Every structure is written in structure tokens, then in C-alpha cells.
Amino acid sequence: MISSPEQQAVDAAITSRRSIRAFLSTPVERADIAAILEVASRAPSGTNTQPWKVYVLTGAARDALCARITEAYRDPEQNRRHQEEYAYYPREWKSPYIDRRRKVGWDLYALLGLTRDNKEGMAAQHARNFNFFDAPVGMIFTIDRVMEQGSWLDYGMFLQGIMIAARARGLDTCPQAAFTQFHAIIAEQLSLPDNEMVVCGMALGVADPARIENALVTEREPVERFATFVDDAPGIVNDAY
């Protein structure tokens, strides 16, 4: 089947998306950020509830939040006082999920020359999350506490829309669950109303091609391992695709 230019453009935007962990200081125009969010807002949501809310941070506002969270992360006493409001990851890990998690972690650390016994180096790399990996634009996403699990599914499609729309404009992103641990600092710094819960953060900017960590490309399972094709005839499963 011959692909159209439109298909190629969409596929390229999706497949070229990666979590970038080092950005250039190149500024992103406010109009471009607004356009990305406008495109992403076309994401589907149950009965058009549109459960997303975004705080876009640049300049001094971004730097102030980064400084406060980084200080709390590096201070063991403060760090212990900050806990996530929701469980992003499983409370009990099992294969194959734990295997994939470990692989991406050690692949990243290997690129950075970090060994298993270099706990300080790994902590320093994790702390880069809280500076949005030097991206000039940081985003914090919140959701109203009354919303249930379905709205969180909708939220994921909105976040994906942002990342794909950014790629279409030659920009890169990194979605960041790490910010959820410090939701109390975020709430205070951004004056969040009590009904809003922090979902995650996201870095937005231009990838630094010289940084080795941006060479990381994570693996994906082939379609035949996660998809089952079911024929029209009841009870017949076709595993071939």
C-alpha cells in the first residue's frame, strides 16, 4: 500500500517522538506553545469533559519552581516529607514490566557512564528532572479531584497530542511523572486551588543533539506480541497478522 504524504507526516511525528533528557536554551515562541495546546485540545474525552488544565512556565516562574523542588529533592529530610498523591507505577512489580523498566534505566545510565554503585551520579541525573532537563518551557498538568479513572485515560490522549503536535513543529518533549512527588511545593508555588491534583510535568523545547543521553531509543514490542486479531466467525482467533 502506497502511503500518502499526510500519512507519512503523521507517522513521522509519532515515531520520532522520544523522551528528551537534554535541551538547548533555544526559546519557544508563546504562539507556538498556544498552537500546540490548541491542537492537543482536540483529544477525545468522555462526553467532552476535557479534564485537562495546564500551567505553562517560562523565565523566572519556571526557574523559581525548579529551584524550590531541586532543593527539596537534595535535602534528605525534606525529600522524605514529600510523597506522591497517586500511584503512577504498580505497587508490586512483575515481569515483563519490571524487566522493561530496568532495561531503560540501565541503558540510559550506560550512555551516561553511570555504574550501579554510583548512587550519587544517578541521583544527580534524576535531579535534572526538576530543571525540566534545561528546557526553556516547563508544563505542569492538573486534574480536578472529582474526576475518575476514565478522565485520566482521556488525559493521556491529551498529553500524547501535545507531544505529537510539538514534533510536527520540530520541537521535543519529555513527560515527567517525577514532579508528582513534590505536588505540595507545586501547589504552593502556582497557587493551585484545593480541588486540583498534579498529574505530571512536561519539558518542551529543542533537543540538544550533542548530549549522549538523547541517543537513547527505547525498544517496543512487535505487534504480534500484544495484538490478537479475531476473525468474524465467533470463537475463532487468528494470531497471524
* Predicted TM-score (pTM) of this structure: 0.94
Q: What is the arithmetic mean of pLDDT over 47-74? A: 98
Q: What is the arithmetic mean of pLDDT over 197-209? A: 98
Q: Is the confidence at residue 102, as pLDDT, over 90? A: yes
Cβ–Cβ under 8 Å, residues 38 and 169: no
Whole-number average pLDDT of the chain = 95
Q: What domains appear along the chain, each with residue ranges and CATH number?
A: 9-132+148-219 (3.40.109.10)
Q: Is the confidence at residue 241, as pLDDT, over 50? A: no
Q: What is the arithmetic mean of pLDDT over 83-104? A: 97
Q: How would you classify the pairing of strands 172-176 and 237-238? A: unpaired
Q: What is the pLDDT of residue 233?
A: 67
Condensed to tens digits (0 to 9), the pLDDT of residues 27-38 reads 999 999 999 999
Determine what percent of the chain is predicted with pLDDT higher than 90. 94
Cβ–Cβ under 8 Å, residues 146 and 21: no
Q: What is the pLDDT of residue 235?
A: 62
Q: Is the confidence at residue 184, as pLDDT, over 90? A: yes
User: Which are the contacts of 142, defined by CB distance < 8 A and separation ≥ 6?
Assistant: 53, 55, 192, 196, 197, 198, 199
